[in-house]
Amino acid sequence: MPAASTGTLLRKVGFGGITGNRTVFFIMCGVLVAMLGIPALHNGYYENLFRGILMFSTLSMGWNIIGGYTGYVSFGNVVYFGIGAYTSAALWQHFHQLNLLLAIVVGAIIAALMALILGIPILRLKGPYFGIATLGTALATQEIISNIDWLGGGSGFPVHQIDNFSLYYYAMWGVCAVSLAATYAIGRSKFGYALVAIRENEEAAAILGVDPTRTKVQAWMISAMMAASAGAVFAAANGFIDPPTAFASDTNIFPIVMAILGGAGTAAGPLVGAFVLTAINETLWGHFPQIHTLFFGAVIVLVVLFLPRGVLWLLNVRGGWRGLVNSLGAYRV
Amino acid sequence: MEFNLALQDLVNGILAGGIFAVVALGFSLVWGIMNIINLAHGAYIMLGAYLAYTLFTFWHVDPFVSIPLAFIVLFILGYFIQRYIINFVVRAPILTTFLLTFGLSLLIINIALVVFHGDVKGITTSYTGTNFAVGPVTISWTKLWTLVAALLITGCMQMFLTRTKTGRAIRATSMDIGAAQLSGVNVAHLYAIVYGLGAGLAGAAGVLVSLSYSLQPSMGDPFIIKGFVVCVLGGLGSVQGALIGGILYGILESFGSQWIGTGLQDATALVVLLLVLVVRPRGIIGKAVA
């Protein structure tokens, strides 16, 4: 059937150049800077909430590099999040190392190596086959780690927590800010254009001198490093890590939903998506604690039906209400 | 001894493969014909299982008898979901419908959680746990009848797709949607039928699942990835492919848990999947229908 490629959708999303709408990007940079002030409120609830937003933004940005810019829709980025988390935990458990920065760096390096090893065979696959293979790696990694005693097996192990809890917040903020800056830099670089060229037409990109395999693997390594850094901080802040926590399916799926909601293939999209989705989730959780996941499912269905190209796309609709209604019917059968 | 153990694994794998084949058949129809990765497939399996559980617990209906009923109920549900929800975005890129079916799956599973509660349930029939021996191999009656039912279901599906007008219209649409439309096929209606068939097959598979696995609202999710793997092993949109892939997957899982380690059966199957994909990037049996 003549379904449009992922590239077509993303091209429509990626309005205003490959990093997206510049105004939105600078507004989100401002929001990010303002978030540095959250620990000053001395409110544990807000600190946790916003650390969650920062974590999911980072994961979503990581996914965006491979799924949004390169057009390889990965369902396995949670592998690298888990690797980061386990690096943090193992450093404490076996080497009594508490240094967060060390955990982030080591986690990112291990994740990048893993992405290199997995990426060379997997990135040859296309479309749904790539998606399945990445989902497979996520499930297989969780099962394999559950069987390694050195990593705590199925029951996991505790991670030491420091007294100054805000440090975790600042660490997550730093990871998120670096990821945002990296995404922006990539979007303006030759490398970024190579990624988008692969997304739009891999054969044509190869003819024009882009080495697809090499570029895709590099993109996935960067993506993995972002996810691993978030994982390393998460494990320390969470104080405990086991396979279901490190490889949770929410951690896998939410960042993808966020990137699409905010606009895949734009620099600020993941941040916007993380804010919107967390706000929806928190509001629902506050009002309907028993059935908030049910409402969350309904929200996703409504968003896909009425905002299929992300919330920021509303800014771009021409022709008012009629234009909006017309553009919604584009994918109808 | 080693040989007998391997023989037992082989038989167990083949017996388990029937369920995987039915699960994958519905998944592969929807994927192959409409290019939808249906993440709600697991939710429909769960609904089928709970239907069988409810009928068995309150009215003592044998689960094998509820298979046609589960198929019809889920077919109707699936038809309406496709007709009035998914059809609005069905021509969008695969990611859009992926997200949509993820949302639907959350919705259905959580409604089930409210209705049936989260505790683990199970069906114990008069023949649960009964076996018979053939030489060195022990065969469970439940698993044998499950395989027979699965073969019957896939057989009926094959007949439907090749011998009926609707079945031929479905195959025609998967080959060339424009030509099918020109020949008078109502695509919106046909897509709804295909999705209904997918959901109905999931429901039937759910009844079979309820006989060998325990029930809880998220029970269907592991079957989605299994359905994925079977589709890759067997090829998309082909009935024989789903059957061969399902049985192959059953054998893989059975040997994986015996010889590599319990708790590693999924990992074994997935590693094999990765190896297959590296050698044959579009699955063993060839290319997608769509």
- Cβ contact B146:B212 at 8 Å: yes
Q: How far apart are CA A162 and CA A267, in angstroms?
A: 33
What pLDDT tens digit does each residue of chain A (333 aa) get? 333 444 444 444 444 455 667 788 888 899 999 998 888 888 888 888 999 999 999 999 999 999 888 988 888 899 999 999 999 899 888 887 778 899 999 999 999 999 999 998 889 888 777 887 888 888 889 888 988 888 888 888 888 777 778 889 999 999 999 999 999 999 888 899 999 999 888 889 999 889 999 999 999 999 999 999 999 999 999 888 999 889 988 888 889 888 888 888 888 889 998 988 888 888 887 777 777 778 878 888 888 888 766 666 666 666 667 777 777 777 777
Hey, what's the torsion of the CAs at A223, A229, A231, A233, to 10 degrees? -160
Do the Cβ atoms of B95 and A6 come within 8 Å? Answer: yes
pLDDT score for A253:
82
- Cβ contact A295:A100 at 8 Å: no
Contacts of A298 (CB under 8 A, 6+ apart): B103, B107
Q: How far apart are CA A67 and CA A264, in angstroms?
A: 8
Q: Which of A4, A8, A300 sits opposite B99 (nearest CB)?
A: A300
Spell out the alpha helix ranges (H) of chain A.
6-13, 22-34, 44-63, 78-95, 100-122, 127-146, 166-188, 190-200, 202-207, 212-238, 243-246, 249-262, 269-287, 292-306, 320-328
Residue B263 DSSP one-character state: T
Has residue B1 got a pLDDT over 70?
A: no
| A290 reaches B (C-beta below 8 A) | yes
Q: Minimal CA–CA distance to B107: which of A322, A239, A292, A196?
A: A292
Domain boundaries, given as residue ranges, for chain A: 6-331
Q: How far apart are CA A253 and CA A139, in angstroms?
A: 13
What distance in Å separates residue B128's CA from the closest CA in chain A?
Answer: 29
User: How far apart, in Å, do the first and last CA atoms of chain A sit?
Assistant: 12
Q: Which helix (H) or strand (E) holds B137?
A: strand B137-140
Has residue B132 got a pLDDT over 80?
A: yes
- Cβ contact A225:A108 at 8 Å: yes
Q: How far apart are CA A273 and CA B124, in angstroms?
A: 46
Whether residue B156 lies inside any domain: the answer is yes
- Cβ contact A39:A170 at 8 Å: yes
Q: Which of B103, B174, B187 sits opposite A301 (nearest CB)?
A: B103
Q: How far apart are CA B178 and CA B189, in angstroms?
A: 15
- Cβ contact A313:A270 at 8 Å: no
By C-alpha distance, the chain A residue nearest B30 is A1
Whether residue B284 lies inside any domain: the answer is no
pLDDT score for A14:
42
Whether residue B285 lies inside any domain: the answer is no
What distance in Å separates residue B96's CA from the closest CA in chain A?
Answer: 7
Question: A108: buried, middle or exposed (CB in 10 Å: 19+, 13-18, 0-12)?
Answer: buried
Do the Cβ atoms of A3 and B278 come within 8 Å? Answer: no
Domains of chain B: total: 1
Cβ neighbours around A230 below 10 Å, total: 32
| A281 reaches B (C-beta below 8 A) | no
Per-residue pLDDT band at B58 (split at 50, 70, 90): very high
Q: How far apart are CA B217 and CA B53, in angstroms?
A: 12
| A117 reaches B (C-beta below 8 A) | no
For B164, the domain range is 2-279
Q: Which residues of chain B does A146 touch, with a Cβ-Cβ cutoff of 8 Å?
A: 263
Q: How far apart are CA B260 and CA B196, in angstroms?
A: 38
- Tokens representing residue B242 in the block: 């789903």
Whether residue B239 lies inside any domain: the answer is yes
pLDDT score for A18:
57
What distance in Å separates residue B186's CA from the closest CA in chain A?
Answer: 10
* Average pLDDT across chain B, whole number: 87
Q: Which of B37, B108, B225 sits opposite A139 (nearest CB)?
A: B225
- Cβ contact B33:B208 at 8 Å: no
For residue B134, list its beta bridge partners: B137
pLDDT score for A317:
65
Do the Cβ atoms of A331 and B96 come within 8 Å? Answer: yes
By C-alpha distance, the chain B residue nearest A297 is B103
Q: Position B213: which residue type?
A: Y
Q: Which residues of chain B does A264 touch, with a Cβ-Cβ cutoff of 8 Å?
A: 95
Whether residue B47 lies inside any domain: the answer is yes
Whether residue B140 lies inside any domain: the answer is yes
- Cβ contact B226:B26 at 8 Å: no
Per-window interface: A 1-30 vs B, CB < 8 A: 1-6, 8-9
Contacts of A171 (CB under 8 A, 6+ apart): A100, A104, A233, A236
Q: How far apart are CA B26 and CA B43, in angstroms?
A: 13
Do the Cβ atoms of B92 and A290 come within 8 Å? Answer: no
- Cβ contact B10:B254 at 8 Å: yes
pLDDT score for B236:
75
- pLDDT 10s digits, B149-162: 999 999 999 999 99
Question: For the residues B68-90, what does the mean pLDDT come to?
Answer: 94
- Least confident stretch, B196-210, B228-242, B271-285: B271-285
DSSP A53-72: HHHHHHHHHHHIIIIIIS--
What distance in Å separates residue A316's CA from the closest CA in chain B?
Answer: 19
Q: How far apart are CA B275 and CA B25, in angstroms?
A: 23
pLDDT score for A2:
37
Q: How far apart are CA A70 and CA A194, in angstroms?
A: 8
Q: Tokens 């993380």 appear where? A: A274
| A299 reaches B (C-beta below 8 A) | yes
Q: Which helix (H) or strand (E) holds B149?
A: helix B141-163
pLDDT score for B175:
84
Per-window interface: A 210-229 vs B, CB < 8 A: none
What distance in Å separates residue B58's CA from the closest CA in chain A?
Answer: 27
What distance in Å separates residue B277's CA from the closest CA in chain A?
Answer: 8
Query: What φ, ψ does residue A63 adopt, rounded to 5°?
Result: -65, -40
| CB crowding B269-280: b at 16 or more within 10 Å, else e | bbbbbbebbeee
Q: What is the pTM of this model?
A: 0.81
Do the Cβ atoms of A298 and B107 come within 8 Å? Answer: yes
| A331 reaches B (C-beta below 8 A) | yes
Q: How far apart are CA A277 and CA A285, in angstroms?
A: 12
